[in-house]
Amino acid sequence: MGQSIKRKPTVIDGVEHWVCSKCKIPKMAVCFYKATYSHSGIRSSCKACAPKRLPPTDPIKIKRAKQLRNAYYARNRDALIKYQRKFYSDPDLKRKRKKAKRTYWENNPKKRFAKSAVSNAIRKGQLVKPDRCSECNAITSTGNLCGHHADYSKRLDVEWLCRPCHGKRHREYDHDA
C-alpha cells in the first residue's frame, strides 16, 4: 500500500470541514461515513461520492471485471500460489486462525451443533448429499454443495445449495434482517 497522507480539516465559520477526495468540496464530518482505520475517523470521500465507488451491477461490467480478475490470476498464478503457501504455513497466523475459529464456534453454538449433526448424519449414511443444487438444479460435485440451515434448531433440515446460490441466499437473508 501507498503511504497515507494525513488530511487536516479546514475551519469555516468556526466549524471543521473536510475536503472530499472525489468532488473536492469542503463538507462537515457528518457528510462522510465513519472509518476506524483513518486517523480522522472518517472516509476520504463524502457520502454523495461513495455510491460511485460501489461494485458494478451492470452484467456487462460484471463480466468484464471477472475477465480482468481471471487474466490477473493467469498472469500472476505462481506468485499468488507462493504467497498463499507462505501465508498458510506461518505458525503465528495458524494460531490466530485457530483462535478465531474457536471463538466463532463458541459464539455460535447452534451453528456448530447443526453443522456437526449434518456431518455425522452424512458419515453414518442417515443423510445423503445430492449432486444437484436445490435452487438452480445445477449438477456439481458433492464437495461443492453446502447444507443451508433456515433454522439451526432443526439440525438435519438442510437445503443443499451450490456455493453461488448459498451466497445469494445469505445476502437475501442479511437484507431482510
List, for residues 72-109, the tens digit of each pLDDT value: 999 999 999 998 888 888 888 889 989 999 999 999 99
Say how far apart CA 53 and CA 44 lie, in whole Å.
Answer: 12
Domain count, the chain: 3
Say how far apart CA 177 and CA 166 lie, in whole Å.
Answer: 17
| 161 and 98 inside one domain | yes
Please report which helix (H) or strand (E) contains residue 159, including its range: strand 158-162
- At 102, is the secondary structure helix, strand, or coil? helix
Question: Distances from the Cα of 23 to the Cαs of 28, 40, 49, in angstroms?
Answer: 14, 18, 7
Tell me which residue range forms the domain holding 48.
10-53
List, for residues 130-170, the tens digit of each pLDDT value: 888 888 888 876 568 888 988 889 888 999 988 888 888 88
| 23 and 96 inside one domain | no
4 belongs to a structural domain: no
3 belongs to a structural domain: no
| 136 and 150 inside one domain | yes
Say how far apart CA 149 and CA 158 lie, in whole Å.
Answer: 5
- Per DSSP, 43 falls in state E
